[in-house]
Amino acid sequence: MCCFLNIPFCSSKKILNVHDIDTKHKKVFKVISEAGDQIDQQVYVVGGYVRDYYLDRLKDGDEMDIDFVTIGEGIKLAKKVTALLNADNLSVFKQFGTAQVIYKGLDLEFVGARKESYQRDSRKPIVEDGTMKDDQLRRDFTINALSWSLNKDNFGELFDPFRGIQDLKKKLIRTPVDPFTTFDDDPLRMMRAVRFATQLGFTIEEKTYKAIEEMVPRLEIISKERIIDELNKIVLADKPSIGFSLLFKTGLLEQFFPEMVKLHGVEEVKGIRHKDNFWHTLKVLDNVAEVSDNLWLRWAAIMHDIAKPATQKFVPGTGWTFHGHDAVGANWVEGIFRRLGLPLDERMRYVRKLVRLHLRPIALVSDEVTDSAIRRLIYDAGDDIDDLMTLCRADITSKNDRRVKKYNKNFDYVEKKIVEVEEKDKLRKWTNPVDGNEIMEALGIKPGPVIGEIKDEIKEAILEGDIPNEHDAAYEYMMKIKDKYIS
């Protein structure tokens, strides 16, 4: 058993003798070792890179972040590394004592070893220079406190003061010190515990889990920007339901997304129940995640039934209804995005559109579905029609195989009709064949509401199939109806 700073750790391993370390990374490590030697500063690779090496998650050629801690000035070491690598992208952050070097797709972050202390009403730490022991004690989890020495006398040696290797083997998320202290110092670490458990398929160790449950209210001092950054990483995981389940059960989700928590629960009237919309939503989210890594399509899955609790009603003879939850939910999207710190641009509008339209394809399942209805769906969805259909298929969460096959067959039919109508009418990127200037010139009228009214009637004629989606036909139709709008 080796020893580092009087704390036991696992046996050493020379990383440069391991064939699966990327050649480019070996070169960088050697250069950084040389830089540290030249300025007489010890340096270590720390955190995620070391963890992911032991989890076999490093991929040759991938762009990635690599963190380095030095006993001394991180900025000074970064400048020396930049010179030795002949890199031309150095960013210095004097306020934080950190520096960043970009080199061939690698984001190299340098910081001096430090110790931190916190005041309870602030997440901003009081930072002082520290030893390597101090630096590792401030790490969030044991699996992130692993480090490799890049010093010449013990190059490549693993330092594992908190038995992080054992936790990797056991697939455990555990804090290196008392979890109440860890989460009190930086409550965002509770979100990070859930995020790592989700991404890695790990379990949160019992004492750490209980601390999260008790420390939940501390999350209120964390900015929405930091929270949403962690939440989006959970949303983008291979199976995001793991993370949302943990967020829900620990009470974290209630702190920033109460609308989603309200989806949970089942009511019963006269023996008639409805499905639990929280767990249904997580299943839809996982279904989308299996086929798409589009963050905003996944958010559409999260939001698609968000207004069901607000629209829930029991109707005798019918059962539970949620009429209008699509429209109400769409109206909620912007407010929820604003509160969570999500973007209020075209990404928000994309999610809002899919929430508003997610029931439309379900209604188009009869053999008598009209081309007009299909045209209107294509017009409303535009280029997002394929994503809408992906969401609709993901919304099939029945455990009845016969019912699932029936729904998928119906959607096959709708998609076939969409292809047929789109090939004929070209409505995905629809613009009115006759623009406002042409209307004014042809009819001799000035700008005003009447222009929009004429364009709307032309649009309706195209969507109804009365005229083809072509300029000449639209122009001819305009001349036919012009007397309704001009005297």
Q: Is residue 136 part of a domain?
A: yes
**Boundary (domain end) residue, out of 140, 170, 200:** 170
Q: Is residue 55 part of a domain?
A: yes
Length of the chain: 487
Q: Is residue 209 part of a domain?
A: no
Q: Is residue 66 part of a domain?
A: yes
CATH code of residue 64:
3.30.460.10
- Total structural domains in the chain? 2
Q: Is residue 190 part of a domain?
A: no
Residue ranges making up the domain that contains 68 = 2-170
**Boundary (domain end) residue, out of 127, 147, 170:** 170
Query: Going residue by residue through the chain (487 aa), what tens digit of pLDDT does each one get?
Result: 233 323 333 434 444 343 456 677 888 999 999 999 999 999 999 999 999 999 988 876 667 889 999 999 999 999 999 999 988 889 999 888 899 999 988 999 999 987 655 555 555 655 556 677 778 888 899 999 999 999 988 888 899 989 999 999 999 999 999 999 999 989 999 999 999 999 999 999 999 999 999 999 999 999 999 999 999 999 999 999 999 999 999 999 999 999 999 999 877 777 676 788 999 999 999 999 999 999 999 999 999 999 999 998 888 878 877 889 999 999 999 999 999 999 999 999 999 999 999 999 988 875 567 888 998 999 899 999 999 999 999 999 888 888 888 888 888 888 888 898 888 878 888 889 899 999 998 898 888 899 999 999 999 999 988 998 999 999 999 999 988 888 6
Q: Is residue 268 part of a domain?
A: no
Q: Is residue 121 part of a domain?
A: yes
Residue 156, Ramachandran bin (φ over 0: left; ψ between -120 and 50: alpha; else beta): left
Query: Distance of CA 121 to CAs 115, 180, 219, 225, Å?
Result: 19, 15, 11, 18
**Boundary (domain end) residue, out of 135, 170, 205:** 170
| Cβ 146 vs Cβ 50: under 8 Å | yes
Q: Is residue 343 part of a domain?
A: no
Cα–Cα distance for residue pair 65/289, rounded to 1 Å = 25
| Cβ 71 vs Cβ 112: under 8 Å | yes
